[in-house]
Amino acid sequence: MGDAVTAVTVRLGDAAVELAPDASVREALGRLGAMRADVVAVAVTPAGADAAQEWDLDRPLVEASAAAVDVAPIRAATPEGRDILRHSTAHVMAQAVTDLFPDAKWAIGPPVEDGFYYDFDVARPFTPEDLAAIEARMRELLAAKQRFVRAEVTRDEALALFADQPYKREIVERVEPSEVDVAAGRDEPTFTVYRNVAPDGTEAWVDLCRGPHLGSTDRIPAFRLMRTAGAYWRGREDQPMLQRIYGTAWESEEALEAHLKMLEEARARDHRRLGRDLELLHLPEELGPGLAIFLPRGAHVRRAMEDWIREETLARGYQPVYTPHVAKEDLWRISGHLQNYAELMFPAMEVEHATYRLKPMNCPFHVLAFQARTRSYRELPLRISELGTVYRFERSGVVNGLLRARGFTQDDSHIFCTADQVVDEVMGCITFARDLYRAFGLGDPSRVAVSTRPPDSLGSDEQWEVAEAALVEAATRSGFEVEIDAGEGAFYGPKIDVHARDAIGREWQLTTIQVDFNLPERFDVAYVGEDGARHRPFMVHRALFGSIERFFAVLLESTNGAFPLWLAPEQVRVLPISEDVLPYAEEVRGACAAAGLRVELDAADDSLGARVRRAQTEKVPVTLVVGGEEAAARTVAVRPYRGEQRRGVPLDGLVAELVAEIGAGRRGEIPPPAVD
RNA sequence: GCUGGAGUAGCUCAGUCGGUAGAGCAGCCGCCUCGUAAGCGGCAGGUCAGGGGUUCGAAUCCCCUCUCCAGCUCCA
């Protein structure tokens, strides 16, 4: 390094070309036949380096400080390419904001999933009219064909350049020298800035940025400003609130349109809308935010979920308990919830000189169940389980239908076990979670993450280390690649979160498995060991659905309300073609009901077409149309929600078929259907 | 909790300059007796989120509160 390089060999796959050091990577790609209009940047790997760097197209080869480099074009329609495109669009937006609001101070403007944002400190929040004006100004800047020009500066130069930009100065001041800087013998980091240069050579704007960027502003094919939002500087509540503008940018108008259409569809999939339209849920204002009523159709689905988990829980050796919804404050003081969790608990209720609290968690009750009598090591592992409804006073801004509620039900279990049983027990929970995801059509877990010790937490270092290691071992031995979410554990112990991906690709955290060493200590929980002495058990807490309500909402949005047969609130609908076949239609309904199917007869005074339409829009999995032909032959015409119609299907055979499908569905043997 | 946006019939939405509210769907009643995604006609349905203010007059303008949405923060 540092030696004068006279020529650089540039390789792309099998092709190679030798160029002068001052040639740009753009030129190199051109010579290699890999330059296209949609190439936004270049992945450059200097010989000997183990990772590629993203470079601007106009950056000269000499800056690689290597005699040979590997290059690969980064195209707009790739995740990396879109990030660059969006990052550049964020810069253009900041320039437009500065043009329209000269006093605006800039914070950060990164690409994010599906778009970008930029945070500003401005005198007043942006209005929708401001957004339209900013977007219009951005279109002028795109047409102005400003080039993005990269430059390296020192810390002092950067501080001088952004003398009137306090947030940029703060960023500059906080940066430590990177590994690259250290390797190059620099004790100060190098900063990069990007100047926006107009075709006439004048500098229109400059921003601190790691890059890379597009060659020029007219290379942004399609963008849209989406919305404004408040956001704390550096994401901390004690910091000033900035005004954030979200936008999105894409490689083509078509891609932008497709994205906007997808957003529209996601809105239509909202569980609150589906819950209302399909008469599953009722979220009236009279109840209060974060509280829900399950209407009969929703209740049928929920019961199917609850029946499944109850049966499986018993089959896997858990003991059921029932516990109350409130308890005296003393209990919450012993458990530590009043000290550590008070802001999430509903306020106290005074009753006959005693103070009661709604339960935010089921754990203390399960501990009391364990302590109902002296426990022997022979009883361990003891798995205590219930569907326990808890109430948490969530801050008003975070409540979100069933996904984030103030009252919700956990399929909650606490496993009391010895140290050497922990790994097996946690593995059992992970396997259980996998089986549950499969049965409910979510496929296998998409992500398994162990959350480690957070800053404010109870317990000793040794306890945490042992428990974290046990969780990692259990997840690994269950066949999952474990990710570590550092510092994300609960205050009372580390946890494993099991995530699933829904039908439209969104990831949800559902199952949580936690080790709790707080409660056993606080309640002085003990069992009598083989040696006759008292021993402290480990306590593993797990909720597989997470929350029944939340899982229900995820399932509803994932299936778009078209539940698999075994979960559907109404599994079969019978439609008589005319009044004279009503007796046979009744018979069909009766045959289904006798087999345990949830079935309705729609003999309303509407045309068959209207009733078929109603059955389809209500997403009933199986519609049976019966007329004279069917009555005579004791068959049905089957119209499934998805798939082909079948006529002349024998009634008995169909009922057996549906019963078999329900069994298979419950056992997780039916793969999820195509996206509805 | 914080920032912005919104709240009109069960649902989706219109309502101009401040002049006391309308459509489609759903519901109810009647006609039609029907072969696979909307047959026809009629009726009823509103404290315009709630409260206060300005005004001769408020869905419309102002203030407060509640709720919802999008974020931030937080989380199952």
Q: Which of residues 571-600 of A touch strand B (CB under 7 A)?
A: 577-580
**Is A105 part of the annotated catalytic residue set?**
no
**Is A605 part of the annotated catalytic residue set?**
no
Does any strand B atom come closer than 7 Å to the Cβ of A269? no
A243 membership: H or E segment, kind and range: strand A241-250
CB-based contacts of A88, cutoff 8 Å, min separation 6: A148, A213, A214, A217, A219, A220, A249
Which residue lies nearest B38, CA-to-C1' measured? A610
Active-site option among A59, A105, A363, A497: A363
Distance A226 CA to B14 C1' (A): 25
**Is A541 part of the annotated catalytic residue set?**
yes
- 10-residue mean pLDDT series, chain A (676 residues): 70 88 88 88 88 89 87 91 93 93 91 90 84 90 92 91 91 80 75 91 89 90 88 85 91 88 82 94 89 94 97 97 95 91 90 93 96 96 96 91 94 95 95 94 91 84 89 93 88 90 87 91 95 95 95 94 96 94 95 97 92 95 95 96 93 97 94 81
d(CA A73, CA A25): 9
Nucleotides in chain B near protein beta carbons (<7 Å): 1-5, 11-12, 30-39, 66-76
CA A470 to each of CA A135, A454, A612, A629: distance values in angstroms, whole numbers, following the listed order: 53, 17, 55, 65
Q: Which tokens is A42 given?
A: 């270049």
Point out the nucleotide closest to A495 (alpha carbon to C1′): B76
> Residue A190: what are its φ and ψ, rounded to 5°?
-100, 140
Point out the nucleotide closest to A497 (alpha carbon to C1′): B76
ipTM above 0.90, yes or no: yes
**Is A91 part of the annotated catalytic residue set?**
no
Does any strand B atom come closer than 7 Å to the Cβ of A616? yes
pLDDT at A2: 47
Active-site option among A392, A406, A550, A619: A392
pLDDT at A297: 96
Does any strand B atom come closer than 7 Å to the Cβ of A165? no
Q: Are the C-beta atoms of A217 and A92 separated by less than 8 Å?
A: yes
Distance A419 CA to B43 C1' (A): 73
A475 membership: H or E segment, kind and range: helix A461-477
CA A581 to each of CA A585, A597, A636, A645: distance values in angstroms, whole numbers, following the listed order: 6, 21, 12, 20
Active-site option among A269, A495, A522, A666: A495
**Is A31 part of the annotated catalytic residue set?**
no
If phi > 0 it is left, if psi is from -120 to 50 it is alpha, else beta; for residue A486 that is beta
Q: Which of residues 395-454 of A touch strand B (CB under 7 A)?
A: 395-401, 404-406, 408, 410
Distance A605 CA to B28 C1' (A): 13
Q: Which tokens is A664 given?
A: 């298979």
Q: Which of residues 27-56 of A touch strand B (CB under 7 A)?
A: none
Measure the CA dihedral A351/A354/A359/A365, to 10°. Answer: -130
d(CA A422, CA A577): 61
Classify residue A514 by burial, with Cβ atoms within 10 Å: 0-12, 13-18, 19+. Answer: buried
Active-site option among A213, A302, A414, A611: A414
pLDDT at A180: 67
Q: Which of residues 129-148 of A touch strand B (CB under 7 A)?
A: none
* Total Cβ atoms within 10 A of residue A498: 29
Active-site option among A146, A165, A243, A410: A410
Distance A224 CA to B13 C1' (A): 26
pLDDT in tens, A281-290: 999 888 889 9
Least Cα distance to A96 among A272, A245, A288, A221 occurs for A245
Helix ranges, A72-127 (H): 79-100
**Is A300 part of the annotated catalytic residue set?**
no
Q: Are the C-beta atoms of A500 and A442 separated by less than 8 Å?
A: yes
CA-CA-CA-CA torsion sign (A556, A557, A560, A563): negative
Point out the nucleotide closest to A630 (alpha carbon to C1′): B35
Distance A423 CA to B74 C1' (A): 30
Does any strand B atom come closer than 7 Å to the Cβ of A113? no
Distance A289 CA to B27 C1' (A): 28
**Does residue A375 sit in helix, strand or coil?**
strand
**Is A150 part of the annotated catalytic residue set?**
no
If phi > 0 it is left, if psi is from -120 to 50 it is alpha, else beta; for residue A330 that is alpha
d(CA A386, CA A362): 9
Does any strand B atom come closer than 7 Å to the Cβ of A629? yes
d(CA A269, CA A264): 9
Distance A520 CA to B15 C1' (A): 64
